[in-house]
Amino acid sequence: MFSFLFSNYVSLVSLINPLGAIPVFLSLTSNHPEKWIQNQIFKTSLNVFVICVVSFLIGNYVLDFFGISIHALKIAGGIIISRSGFQLLNAKHKKDIGKKIQSESLQKEDISFTPLAMPLLSGPGSISFLINLSIQTNYNIKFSTYAIVSILLASVSIFVILKLAPKILSYMGQAGLKSMSKIMGFIVLAIGIELIISSISALILKIS
């Protein structure tokens, strides 16, 4: 069970990639008081937790409502996750937030839900992964509990990393953050490909 929890935690952190969000986070919060920044960090972590838990809980309902097969959803999720992996390898994942959204964020009193929690951190890749995970666990109480604990740990990691963002950036620099993003991108790409391969293999076995 520990390996299940740990693998899901690593996968989530790789997909969310809070290290890659540091430059954008600092640029959005640079002209604000410290108390406001700390409040945004807490609310962002909480929002990511809620978004991820809801994504995990709605997996089977998405299938039932749209009449989608498990294998189709896994393949679609694998493609989205693989795309996120390619973006991370090219250090573009956190540049999905355009200049217009960033300029609008500077006018907002609260940026914890959007653009920080969504789409900067909990984007299509992590949501697809969690929907697939919910199908894999089939709402088994034991596995679902461990899955939610892994989401909680990922959210705590976001809180810690954003809180230490200035120190991390000064220590690692832009080059260091890009290198970490590439490593995470490789892991994310492998997760996406694994989902696609497992679904195609299951389909072949079913047909044969």
Lowest mean pLDDT among 2-6, 46-50, 63-67, 197-201: 63-67
Q: Whole-angstrom Cα distance, residue 4 to residue 95?
A: 31
3-state class percentages of the chain: helix first, strand second, coil last, to nearest 5:
85, 0, 15
Which residues are within 8 A (CB) of 52 and not within 5 positions of it... i.e. 6 or more apart? Answer: 12, 122, 126, 127, 130, 151, 154, 155
Question: What is the biggest distance separating any 2 CA atoms in the chain, rounded to whole angstroms?
Answer: 63
Number of domains in the chain: 1
pTM: 0.86
Among 86, 97, 63, 75, which Cα is nearest to 184's?
86
C-alpha angle 33-97-82 in degrees, rounded to nearest 5: 130
Can you list the alpha helix ranges (DSSP code H) found in 90-164?
99-105, 124-137, 141-163
Per-residue pLDDT, 51: 95
- The alpha-carbon radius of gyration of the chain (Å, integer) is 17
Per-residue pLDDT, 104: 57
Query: pLDDT digits over 64-76, tens only?
Result: 788 888 888 888 8
Domain region containing 40: 2-207
Per-residue pLDDT, 88: 82
Cis peptide before 119 (omega within 30 of 0): yes
Q: Whole-angstrom Cα distance, residue 201 to residue 198?
A: 5
Across 60-64, average pLDDT = 79
Per-residue pLDDT, 91: 64
Coil, strand or helix at 59: helix
Query: pLDDT digits over 144-186, tens only?
Result: 999 999 999 999 999 999 999 999 988 888 788 888 888 888 8
Q: Whole-angstrom Cα distance, residue 55 to residue 61?
A: 10
Across 38-58, average pLDDT = 95
Cis peptide before 124 (omega within 30 of 0): no
Average pLDDT for the chain: 86
Query: pLDDT digits over 13-45, tens only?
Result: 999 999 888 988 988 888 788 999 999 999 999
C-alpha angle 168-51-85 in degrees, rounded to nearest 5: 55
Per-residue pLDDT, 105: 58
Q: Answer whether residue 193 shows pLDDT above 60.
A: yes
Among 145, 149, 177, 146, which Cα is nearest to 164's?
177
Query: pLDDT digits over 69-122, tens only?
Result: 888 888 888 898 898 888 888 765 555 555 555 565 556 678 889 888 988 899
CB contact at 8 A, 137 and 147: yes
